[in-house]
Amino acid sequence: MNLTFLGTRGEIKARTRQHRMYTSLLVLHRGARVMIDCGLDWLGKFERLHPSAIVLTHAHPDHAWGLKHGAPFPVYAPQKTWQELQHYPIEDRHVIEERTLTNICGVIFEAFPVEHSILSPTVGYRVSAGRARIFYALDLIFIHERSAALKGVQIFIGDGATLTRSFIRRRGKALIGHSPVRTQLTWCQK
């Protein structure tokens, strides 16, 4: 499995040459090209990558709005994400069930719910191809069933919104936001 970071930027104004496109990852395996997330700044651009499929973590603008005019290939997402994107003209829709192995072009995805947003439920993916296993979750406070999600993972690709300072807020009884990198490293250490 080969990984190409197509974008690393969240919904912020600051941009650099290396940090200009919204977060997206291209997973390459035996001819398959699976793109994870497709934010608004990918609108009209992602087609040139010729992905075999697109997989979405959640429906925020920096993760899914690049698909608002549709997609000429299969798109996979949890049911709650599809509910938010119900008006998008995507014909080849597939639902990813949480904690169910889903084969997408020979790459296995397993969705784990993560805390991030009240209005846009989010998942992280345990991605496996051949002997390689990664966990990908770029917007999160914590991973539900973290031990199962990270078991045997060789690479953790997480939230980089803040290094050490908490970026977590409370809305009523719910938590929203982003865990610092330092916290995520302790998960990996455990």
- Distance of alpha carbon 21 from alpha carbon 64, whole angstroms: 13
**Prediction pTM value:** 0.91
Please determine, for residue 10, whether its predicted confidence score (pLDDT) is greater than 70: no
Q: Find the helix or strand (DSSP H, E) in which 34 lies.
A: strand 32-36
Its CATH architecture, for the domain 2-189, is 4-Layer Sandwich (3.60)
Backbone angles phi, psi at 141, to 5 degrees: -100, -45
Q: What is the pLDDT of residues 153-174, one digit of tens each?
A: 999 999 877 788 888 888 888 8
Q: What is the pLDDT of residues 97-144, one digit of tens each?
A: 999 999 999 999 999 999 888 778 899 999 999 999 999 998 898 999
Q: Where are the domains of the chain?
A: 2-189
Q: Does residue 23 contact residue 122 with C-beta atoms inside 8 Å? A: no
Report which of 121, 157, 143, 187 is spatially closest to residue 27, judged by C-alpha positions. 157
In a 3-state reduction of DSSP, which class is residue 182?
A: helix
